[in-house]
Amino acid sequence: MALAIAVSLSFIISAPLNRVGHSIYLRSAKWLKEQAAEKINTRDQFINPGEAQVLILGMGRIGSGAYDELYERYGKVSLGVEVREEAAADHQAKGRNVIAGDATDPDFWERILDTAHVKLVLLAMPHHQGNQTALELLQKKQFKGQVAAIAAYPDQLAELEEMGVNAAFNIYSEAGSGFARHVCDQLQPNLK
């Protein structure tokens, strides 16, 4: 009986903490000691987007289609970010400029060294909440370029637009290349 009560109480206490976990971490992160770059695990090393002008967050079917369309139009201007390491390695083997990373993790955005060349971010993750979280973290990084996102339902599109994306597209009416085509036509990013 006592064990059942203890487990129930732990769920009651942990539920609200789980909802605000990222913000608690962000507030306490400044007190954590930074490690030297040479001591950092390879999964935690700094990310240099280099000359990439487009970040594609989520390299599934839609992100890959968008990457390929942008490559055909502009050449090597994109950097794809895929949460699954094996999928990122598969993209790399196919010649795509893709790294493994979790764009919903505040640490990911802390590890990006310079986004000065990045003019456009495509939020192409399959889950709406992931795209929202990545957008919030991108805004906290004070990204000045344009942001486009995908969503499955009209209310999600409206939500993303209210949050500040420049363009939102329905995944059921836009395939990856269609997504990129519409982004290029609607936002007219100044890519080389």
User: Residues 164-181: what's their mean pLDDT?
Assistant: 75
Q: Is the pLDDT of residue 33 over 70?
A: no
In the structure, how many helices (H) and strands (E) does the chain have? Answer: 8, 6
Phi, then psi, of 169 in degrees rounded to 5: -130, 145
Domain ranges of the chain: 52-187
Residue 162: pLDDT above 90? yes
Q: pLDDT, tens digit, for every residue of 131-161?
A: 999 999 999 988 889 999 999 999 999 999 9
pTM of the model: 0.71
Residue 42, amino acid = T
Q: How confident is the model at residue 14, as a pLDDT?
A: 75
Is 90 exceeded by the pLDDT of residue 78?
Answer: yes
The H-assigned helical ranges of 31-173 are 61-74, 85-93, 106-111, 128-140, 154-163
Neighbouring C-beta atoms of residue 152, cutoff 10 Å: 13
Domain 52-187: give its CATH architecture.
3-Layer(aba) Sandwich (3.40)
Distance, in Å, from the CA atom of 157 to the CA atom of 178, rounded to the nearest integer, reads: 16
- Per-residue pLDDT for 189 more than 80? no
Alpha carbon 154 to its chain's center: 21
